[in-house]
Structure 1
Amino acid sequence: MNECKQCGTCCRKGGPALHTQDLGLLRESEGLDLTDIVTLRKGELVFDQPENAVAPLKEEILKVKGAGGSWTCKFLAVSSQVCRIYKNRPLECQTLFCGDPDPLLKIYDKDRLTRRDILPEGHPVLELIEEHDRRCSPKKLASLATEVVADWNGKEDLRADLREMMIYDKSVRDLVVEKAGLPEEAMDFFFGRPLGIILKGYGIISTPNGNSFSLRKAS
């Protein structure tokens, strides 16, 4: 019998992606909230565990956030190795057993949730999401970042483009928090990871508003 030993190893590798079967968890009083979710947008570089490789996402996915800037699922109580929402845990957590990954692999890329599955038609932030995806496209960001890193002492025009994207990314998050009264912690759901965090994957360190960039030193 496959029985979880509650060692916390799987939880430390990242929170689960959400599937259509998890929609009900957003309605549970002890389930998930939008502040618990981060959107990984199509084209973002992510680590694919089954493939054991970093690759651009083929489609948007929603994941449970990590804790304290790490990949460790925010619902893992580290001191006891216990899941704090175990009775209402997502489908991937119910399916995963580290001794036999096959059941998880069968559902891994099936019926994944996106922002549009959660936000009702006509939601006031949907238009902003579309505009943000257009102006801050992960594909465009990847192209700019790659070219800037390849010619670090040049490409000032491309640095300016990066700076403009980062300024817009921050401003739209601030606008929604201020005008719509939505919690700042939910912006990772609405607009995905801040561009500064994504840029770190390309070896670029930036100030939050994109005023300056530096290359990350190899450790």
Structure 2
Amino acid sequence: MPSMNPALVVLSGGQDSTTCLYWALNRFGAGQVEAITFDYGQRHRIELDCAARIAARAGVPHVVLPIDTFAALGGSALTDPGIAVQAGVDAQTQLPATFVPGRNLIFLTFAAAFAYPRGIHDLVTGVAQTDYSGYPDCRQTTLQVLEQAIRLGMEYEITIHTPLMFKSKAETVWMARDLGVLPALADSHTCYNGLQPPCGVCPACQLRAKGFAEAGIPDPLLERFREPAP
């Protein structure tokens, strides 16, 4: 039975956050869910339009907050056009070039600040530790400590829900199927190069393709761009 508490979903417009949006609708109920998207100067800006379409399809209120400091900081392939989007890790940091330092920490802190005056106590994010891309801010321990810090710093009860934390990409695809999310995933965006159809070669595209292949389900996004048979 759905909870009667309102929830706020951090919606990037990608596969995982879209799945989490529908998880929240199932968990908290229609009319109890809002979505927030961050414009942080990402190169794949098409995901902002995708998030708006997905929120509209789901019938949830949606707001986009501009936080372009990440682009000014640089140092990530997702915000700096001079850094190539590629597989592998940096020799010094041992982290992928697509790692945006502090991104999830700041997203969730801003989401909590947005939730505070609206009386929302439940935040939902699509981070996952099992199949994550080497990002330390996707780990459960990180999110647990952040949740505690927000509670203490705001004197406000916040719970951060991570429905995908220990799921593989294939398991998230099955979860999406069971929640009826697959049609919405046709509007989602994963490609770090910001291409539609997706490039198919960047780390994000490869991880997404691997999940759908292992799940044995066609990717609705690729089906959307597939040419009809003559």
Normalised by the length of structure 1, the TM-score is 0.31
Structure with greater Cα Rg: 1
